[in-house]
Chains A and B, each alone.
Chain A
Amino acid sequence: MDASVELDRVVMRFGDFTAIEETSLAIASGEFFSFLGPSGCGKTTLLNIVSGFLTPSAGEVRIGGEAMAGVSVNRRPTAMIFQNLALFPLMTVFENIEFGLEVRGIDRKTRRATSERLLALVALEGSGPKKVTELSGGQKQRVAIARALAVEPRVLLLDEPLSALDLKLRQHMRVELKAIQRKTGITFIYITHDQGEALNMSDRVAVMSAGHLQQVADPMTLYRSPQTGFVAAFVGENNRLEAKVIDQDGERVRLDGGALGELSGRGTAPTPLANGAAAALYVRPEHLRPVAPGQGLEATIEALHFEGAWLMLETRLAASGEKLRVQLGHELSRQHLEALQPGRRAHFGFDPEDAVVLADAGGPALDEATGEVVEGAHV
């Protein structure tokens, strides 16, 4: 069974507004694929194009190699799990799960056998005769999954299905979703603005911003080697230091950090950086660690936040006045706690292998103060 999904130069316009810029993408059969992006980036639009609720303005969607143009929602080999689940409140759990089978004219006995099997898969045995309104949030979630799986879709589309659950349940459902995906071998296309979900479950993640695919990669690559400033800022947390390129040798880029002196990191973009070009060095808070005076970057500690498993320091660089966030694990924070009080000065260093250098060429970026995406002013 070929459950691959291909987007071939898909464009979506609403009047003058382009919701999806020309996008091509191939999702492999049986892959757990996520679209990650802030709200309004076009990820839900893309999902609606695959499910057939929207017809793209240009381009083509293929599922299992078959073109989907002219194939209506109710005839596509896809099933959707809605953000609000959209269970049918007037029906029982059984009736909900069996709805798609009833539509297909499958007899009562086979229907019941299928729904029993699916209830077992989502660990809800015995809940069939209940009304959906009697179920808890997590149970409703499972019924929604069972209902979608009942029609044996080749592709399951999930529109932020976990966003309504509390943290513990959400983490638990992540594991279950992943397990169900492995068991069934169905292609999962998952929409989320929660990077934890995307990184945790996905085989590959596409980061989207303003109707545009920023980067498509496996979670580790995405985290380790972001290729655009947006991805560097949106996925995980990053400190951004402005600098000028001195030279690039293979992956290694040497930078002139101005008052910060010489810096270096990995150039992750496909095209090498030009000598002298404006660039930004991204180093994650957890990759910084205290070093002896005279080494690394000198900074004043402004605030200290205890987060349980780690300690987050808000500091300001002595040389440039830029902000630098430093995250210290249990071990390091215990060793250095005395020296790390607000008002004190400290030195922080990082391994150039852990720092990423990208051309500082505008594009949408994340506003650090509000967490919202802003279009780059300098291109």
Chain B
Amino acid sequence: MFRQLRARFGGPLAAAILALLGIWLIVMVTLPQLQMIDYSLRPNLLPAQLGGPEDNWTLANYVTLFNNEIHRAIFFKTLWSSVLVTLLTLMVSYPLAYYLAKLASPRQAALCILLLIIPFWINEILRTYSWFIILAFRGPLNEVLMMLGLIDRPIRFLSGDAGVMVGMVYAYILFMVFPIYNVIESLDDNQVRAARDLGAGTLRTHRRIIIPHAKPGIATGCIMTFMLAAGSYAVPALLGSPGSRWFTQIIYNWFFEGGNWNQGAAYAFLLLILCIGFMSLVMKVFKVGLGDIAK
């Protein structure tokens, strides 16, 4: 790498680039992570006890999760809800991606993509607040439904998980639509025509031809959406009810309210392990490698 850089930029500049890269990787990425791992493996001690006989490495912080029934429940609820968010996002995104890639005229597709992207120019918190307003007990959605006579009294969308689901599907839809759009667009139209010509209906054409082709994109979208959902803080904090807490909120509490960084770091790593586990599972199920996803 150095040789290539030197050939292009000359010795001193190449050295500077590599040094900056090294500093960034070591000081900004690796060391803080190691520090956090170190935190997570030590008990939470008073400053006076640091370096004392009790300051030993222990897995106690990790074990806490499995002994604390409430935290454990929230951990698995976060897992389950993130899977659900991923599935819902996939269900909304696949038809949209197919429409954009194969059915829409270039003008329609451009307009549609623009409409999808514009809301993302706004900060995530503001977008989530707007859903808070829309879904509120006396908010516009309830008003409209009542006006149409579909419901008699307003629905409490924001109690339970519904609000969080809606907010997350909305927040992460682009991360699902674009990878799927990209792969479907690369599908030769004649493949679909050939399937039709051989007698396949719409469903079978999707099941046997389009979805198998779109698999790497679907896997990428699912992994990204799951990671973002499991690691989300703003959406559950704003749209969730007391009964629908997210694991990230527990981590936050350990760090900033409990003041127990050691415990918080252990919880954060457990969430990371969960995400990596899910990612490997998806890659296995879809039979795609890291290379396919990086495309």
Point out residues on A near B: beta carbons under 8 Å.
51, 53, 72-75, 78-80, 82-84, 86-88, 90, 99-100, 103-104, 147-148, 151
- A74-B191 Cα distance, complex, nearest whole Å: 14
Which residues of B sit under 8 angstroms from A104, Cβ to Cβ?
199
- A82-B209 Cα distance, complex, nearest whole Å: 16
The answer, yes or no, to whether B104 is at the interface (CB within 8 Å) is: no
Closest-by-CB residue of A relative to B195 is: A99
The answer, yes or no, to whether B51 is at the interface (CB within 8 Å) is: no
**Contact yes or no, B204 A86, CB < 8 A:** no
B 162-182 contacts with A by CB, 8 A: none
Q: Which of B190, B200, B208, B213 contacts A86 (CB 8 A)?
A: B190
Closest-by-CB residue of A relative to B202 is: A74
**Contact yes or no, A74 B190, CB < 8 A:** no
The answer, yes or no, to whether B198 is at the interface (CB within 8 Å) is: yes
The answer, yes or no, to whether B194 is at the interface (CB within 8 Å) is: yes
Subset of 13 A-B contacts with CB under 8 Å: A53-B196, A53-B197, A74-B198, A79-B198, A86-B191, A88-B208, A88-B209, A90-B213, A99-B195, A99-B208, A103-B198, A103-B200, A103-B201
- A86-B213 Cα distance, complex, nearest whole Å: 13
**Contact yes or no, A74 B200, CB < 8 A:** yes
Which residues of A sit under 8 angstroms from B198, Cβ to Cβ?
74, 79, 99-100, 103, 147-148, 151
**Contact yes or no, B193 A82, CB < 8 A:** yes
Which residues of A sit under 8 angstroms from B195, Cβ to Cβ?
88, 99
Which residues of A sit under 8 angstroms from B259, Cβ to Cβ?
none
**Contact yes or no, A84 B188, CB < 8 A:** yes
- A75-B200 Cα distance, complex, nearest whole Å: 9
Residue in A75, A88, A148 whose Cβ sees the most chain B Cβ within 10 Å: A88
- A80-B158 Cα distance, complex, nearest whole Å: 54
The answer, yes or no, to whether B212 is at the interface (CB within 8 Å) is: yes
Top-10 shortest CB links A-B: A86-B190, A100-B198, A86-B194, A103-B199, A73-B196, A74-B199, A80-B197, A82-B190, A103-B200, A90-B212
Q: Which of A79, A84, A103, A151 contacts B204 (CB 8 A)?
A: A103
Which residues of A sit under 8 angstroms from B199, Cβ to Cβ?
74-75, 100, 103-104, 151
Residues of B in contact with A, size category: 10 to 19
Closest-by-CB residue of A relative to B200 is: A103
Least distance between A188 CB and chain B CB atoms (Å): 15
Point out residues on B near A: beta carbons under 8 Å.
188, 190-191, 193-201, 204, 208-209, 212-213
Least distance between B32 CB and chain A CB atoms (Å): 43
Least distance between B54 CB and chain A CB atoms (Å): 59
**Contact yes or no, A99 B197, CB < 8 A:** no
**Contact yes or no, B204 A80, CB < 8 A:** no
- A147-B199 Cα distance, complex, nearest whole Å: 12
- A151-B199 Cα distance, complex, nearest whole Å: 8
Closest-by-CB residue of B relative to A150 is: B198
Closest-by-CB residue of B relative to A80 is: B197
* Contact A74:B209 (CB < 8 A) given known A86-B188, A86-B190, A103-B204: no
**Contact yes or no, B193 A86, CB < 8 A:** yes
Which residues of A sit under 8 angstroms from B188, Cβ to Cβ?
84, 86
Closest-by-CB residue of B relative to A78 is: B197
- A98-B16 Cα distance, complex, nearest whole Å: 61
- A84-B200 Cα distance, complex, nearest whole Å: 19
- A88-B192 Cα distance, complex, nearest whole Å: 10
Closest-by-CB residue of A relative to B190 is: A86
Which residues of A sit under 8 angstroms from B213, Cβ to Cβ?
90
Closest-by-CB residue of B relative to A159 is: B190
Q: Which of A72, A75, A82 contacts B194 (CB 8 A)?
A: A82
* Contact A51:B212 (CB < 8 A) given known A82-B190, A84-B190, A103-B204: no
- A80-B198 Cα distance, complex, nearest whole Å: 8
Least distance between A194 CB and chain B CB atoms (Å): 20
- A270-B209 Cα distance, complex, nearest whole Å: 52
Which residues of B sit under 8 angstroms from A83, Cβ to Cβ?
190
- A100-B194 Cα distance, complex, nearest whole Å: 10
Which residues of B sit under 8 angstroms from A103, Cβ to Cβ?
198-201, 204
Least distance between B87 CB and chain A CB atoms (Å): 23
**Contact yes or no, A79 B209, CB < 8 A:** no
**Contact yes or no, B194 A80, CB < 8 A:** yes
Closest-by-CB residue of B relative to A90 is: B212
**Contact yes or no, B212 A74, CB < 8 A:** no
Closest-by-CB residue of B relative to A99 is: B198
Least distance between A151 CB and chain B CB atoms (Å): 6
Residue in B195, B199, B209 whose Cβ sees the most chain A Cβ within 10 Å: B199
Closest-by-CB residue of A relative to B192 is: A86
- A88-B213 Cα distance, complex, nearest whole Å: 10
Which residues of A sit under 8 angstroms from B193, Cβ to Cβ?
53, 73, 80, 82, 86
Residue in B193, B194, B200, B204 whose Cβ sees the most chain A Cβ within 10 Å: B194
**Contact yes or no, A79 B212, CB < 8 A:** no
- A230-B200 Cα distance, complex, nearest whole Å: 41
Closest-by-CB residue of A relative to B208 is: A99
**Contact yes or no, A74 B196, CB < 8 A:** yes
- A72-B195 Cα distance, complex, nearest whole Å: 13
Residue in B195, B197, B200 whose Cβ sees the most chain A Cβ within 10 Å: B197
**Contact yes or no, A79 B200, CB < 8 A:** no
- A88-B9 Cα distance, complex, nearest whole Å: 47
Which residues of B sit under 8 angstroms from A53, Cβ to Cβ?
193, 196-197
* Contact A99:B190 (CB < 8 A) given known A88-B209, A90-B212, A90-B213: no
**Contact yes or no, B197 A79, CB < 8 A:** yes
